[in-house]
A = this chain, B = another copy of it.
Amino acid sequence: MKTINNQPIGIFDSGVGGLTVLKEIHKLLPNESIIYLGDTARVPYGNKSKDTIIRYSIENTKFLLKHKIKLLVVACNTSSSYAINVLQKLFRGLHIIGVVIPGAKAAVEKTKNNRVGIIGTKATIRSNAYTKAIKKLNKNVEVISQATPLFVPLIEEGWVDKVYSIDRHSDYYRRVSHENILRQLAAEYLTPLKKANVDVLVLGCTHYPAIKSVIQDIMGRDVCIIDSSEETAKTVKEVLQKQSLLNANKKSHLKFYVTDDVVSFKAIGSLLLGKKIKDVKKVNIY
């Protein structure tokens, strides 16, 4: 085995959302060491401009490259939408995987009526990245996009499905009130997609799995909800296998870096990851 096989996978995201991607990669490839960077000092990316998103993505990649990563996962949908091509040109030789193409592939495979819905941040939807990726795979698939910009702030406030139960400290009445508001908002955002009769809906933001059950309720049971995290993990495995880069060594580690405060990242991150986050450091990346 080459030395490079022991090197870690690098993952970056604008904040905590990408931990859902890390979770799936770690589940599928437990031998792999992973270094995660959450750019919490500049979160969110979804309402920023293309140029700014690209600049931040380059800075994040440069930071991870210092840790000799063997493969980069861009876990942020907004960065994946705008910056993947730029990163691939700038950092030739580095294997770079975004979350958009795996999600698009899964959508094309799952749709039966060739009608796919996409939800995401304003920037992700404005970029048309999902539509382009899906059309490239099958030009007959109709793509209906909808920006859902208020989902992220609500989720970051802990207004999530019972499964995640970040909101568990709230009293019952507050939880009912939050669920009502979340449902009204989701109904407004999702009704155009439901009316458009999509049979697949891609969650084009790593935060959204936290409210999957509300989304599924509104879309109906027949609509297949795609969470890019699982699909991205599969792609990572495929690429590492193909390049003979899988790690046989069982001593793997998870390391976390954030650009803002460590404490709040540990708290919400541990819940998203389903296990306690220990090794977190604050870094200045620019």
Chain A positions near chain B (C-beta within 8 angstroms)? 40-43, 47-49, 51-52, 149-150, 153-154, 156-157, 174, 177, 180-181, 184-185, 188, 259-261, 264, 286
Contacts and interface: CB of A to CB of B under 8 A. Distances in A.
Given A42-B41, A49-B261, A188 B177 contact: yes
A217 to B, nearest CB: 18
A41 B47 contact: no
Contact of A150 (B47, B48, B154, B260): B154
A48 B41 contact: yes
Closest 7 CB pairs of A and B: A49-B261, A153-B153, A41-B52, A52-B260, A42-B42, A49-B260, A181-B181
Contact of A156 (B47, B52, B286): B47
A260 B48 contact: yes
A74 to B, nearest CB: 19
Contacts of A149: 153, 157
A261 B49 CA distance: 6
21 contacts: A40-B48, A41-B42, A42-B42, A43-B47, A47-B156, A48-B261, A49-B260, A49-B261, A49-B264, A51-B261, A52-B260, A52-B261, A149-B153, A149-B157, A150-B153, A150-B157, A177-B184, A177-B188, A181-B181, A181-B184, A286-B286
A49 to B, nearest CB: 4
A149 B259 CA distance: 21
A113 to B, nearest CB: 28
Given A48-B41, A48-B260, A52-B41, A181 B185 contact: yes
Nearest to A51: B261
A180 B184 contact: yes
Contacts of A43: 47
Nearest to A180: B184
Given A42-B42, A153-B153, A286-B286, 15 more contacts: A40-B48, A41-B42, A41-B52, A48-B260, A48-B261, A49-B260, A49-B261, A51-B261, A52-B259, A149-B153, A149-B157, A177-B184, A177-B188, A181-B184, A181-B185
Contacts of A180: 184
Contacts of A150: 153-154, 157
Nearest to A173: B188
A192 B21 CA distance: 39
